[in-house]
Chains A and B, each alone.
Chain A
Amino acid sequence: MTLRERGNRIARVGTVVTALALLGLAGVYVRAIVYTPVEAAQGAAQKIFYVHVPSAWAGLMAFVITGLLSILYLWLKDRRLDLAAAASAEVGVAFSAIILTTGPIWGKPIWGTWWTWDARLTSTLFLFLLFVGYIVLRGVLTDPGIRGRFSAVIGIMALFLVPFIHLTVYLFRTLHPAPIVLKPSRPSLPGDMLTTLMLSVGVFTVLYTGLLMLRYALGLLREAREEELADAS
């Protein structure tokens, strides 16, 4: 199978997966707004939680996967791993943008402020900025080998940076709500809300997968086009 055929096939599957995820997302909206109880203290503002938390999950997962794929790329030197790492980074930047916009919308009515320098907010902001830098760096490097190696270096370093930023701001001060699902004791979210949240996390994971496939397919097709141009000249 040529590079172009493979790219086209992954793009087709990716389109189906993304479409399914968007349908699921519509379902999550309906369920969150109509069928999930309104939170007593925060009222309607709490509904954003069903988008915010799953995007945080998907965004963080995207960056961790970029880091892991970067390590694998440096080890196995397979170009496809580099393309996949870059695809994951771009999708991660998109999800981070959702985190960083939905967060303040919720923060204004509940905290009384759009932004606060809390551990998680700060880590997300700097990760977002670092991965924008990652994408810019890929844009200015023309040699595919150098581009792959250099972006892998940034991807791996980012993996190590996050705990340090988190610890830094934790020592500084923290205001963000404590985790209510992933914690040592049982989740403290009421049943209906937990179901909606878990459903949304699932949908966002599928959405991540779909977008990743589309972006990866685009990378393959771009390589195929470059090869065709090189052959033609």
Chain B
Amino acid sequence: MGSTLRAAWHIAVKDLAIEWRTKTAFASGLVFAVLVLAVLFFSRDPTTVSATDIAPGAMWVTFTFASMLGLNRAFLIERELRALDGILLTPAPRAAIYWGKFVANLAFVGAIEAISLPLFVLFYDVPIWRRLGELILVIAMATIAFVAVGTLLSAMVVRTRYAELMLPLLLLPFLVPPLVAGVQATAPLLDGRPLSDVSGWLKLIAGFDVAFVTLAALLFEVVLDE
């Protein structure tokens, strides 16, 4: 157990170090998130629909698309020079690769979300402060769901020639429950209503997290099996 965690940590640190040195994916992910936020702002008739009405949806769609970019990156960097074979040759257990990638993706997506959230507040002028802690809890729970499934699927699609195309096709159906729950829980929280008003949605995301983190971690070994 200890060695798995240590190996997972090394893989996560390696991924984040690569990203830290180039910042290519991070910069493009962030710019992409800002672009989506801006484009969605104009996807309404300003005389009939206020920006506050579409704000929760805009925020979650942005997070979803930005996560997808980050998740694609996770295994694409291992495809160059067949770097994944190198990791597989190390004594690190297969599970460590999943958890390492999971943690690195979580940090990557979380960082993009952390920077786009203030921009979202700025653009859409939403009173986020009233329930900030609760909102961050919902975002964190849904992000775990996105990343758990996305890490598994990105390890699969990277073996095809159409990775960038296949990931959204396979991943989006799985993101429906956390995405809908995220939007539905965000709207009341932005209205300043308490967390107990959205407990149904929270339970749904929590259940999804438990089920799919477990399932993805188990199935990951099948994906890497040679």
Contacts and interface: CB of A to CB of B under 8 A. Distances in A.
Interface in A102-130: 122, 126-127, 129-130
Contacts of A157: 149, 174, 212, 215, 219
A150 B204 CA distance: 27
Given A152-B222, A168-B204, A140 B162 contact: yes
A201 B84 CA distance: 49
Contacts of A23: none
B160 A153 contact: no
B170 A133 contact: yes
B200 A171 contact: yes
A153 B161 contact: no
Contact of B212 (A136, A150, A154, A160): A160
A167 interface: yes
B159 A150 contact: yes
Given A157-B149, A167-B177, A150 B223 contact: yes
A172 B180 contact: yes
Contacts of A172: 180, 184
Given A140-B160, A172-B184, A126 B166 contact: no
B204 A133 contact: no
Given A156-B215, A157-B219, A141 B184 contact: no
A161 interface: yes
Interface string B139-163: 0000000000100100011011110
A133 B168 CA distance: 10
A152 B222 CA distance: 9
A35 interface: no
Nearest to A166: B177
Interface in A148-202: 149-150, 152-154, 156-157, 160-161, 164-165, 167-169, 171-172
A144 to B, nearest CB: 13
A74 interface: yes
Contact of A126 (B162, B173, B225): B173
Contacts of A122: 176
A13 interface: no
Contact of B176 (A140, A141, A156, A168): A168
A153 B149 contact: no
Contacts of A146: 159
A71 to B, nearest CB: 11
Contacts of B166: 133, 136-137, 140
B118 interface: no
B211 A160 contact: yes
B177 A141 contact: no
Contact of A133 (B152, B173, B180, B184): B173
Contacts of A154: 170
A129 B169 CA distance: 8
Interface string A135-147: 0110011000010
Contacts of B181: 168, 171
B204 A164 contact: yes
B201 interface: yes
Central interface residue in B173, B180, B184, by most chain A CB within 10 Å: B173
A140 B161 contact: yes
Interface in B172-188: 173-174, 176-177, 180-181, 184
B192 interface: no
B177 A153 contact: no
27 contacts: A74-B222, A122-B176, A126-B173, A130-B173, A133-B169, A134-B170, A136-B166, A137-B166, A140-B160, A140-B161, A140-B166, A141-B160, A150-B223, A152-B222, A154-B170, A156-B219, A161-B173, A164-B177, A164-B208, A165-B173, A167-B177, A167-B204, A168-B177, A168-B180, A171-B200, A171-B201, A172-B184
Interface of B: 149, 152, 156-157, 159-162, 166, 169-170, 173-174, 176-177, 180-181, 184, 200-201, 204, 207-208, 211-212, 215, 219, 222-223, 225
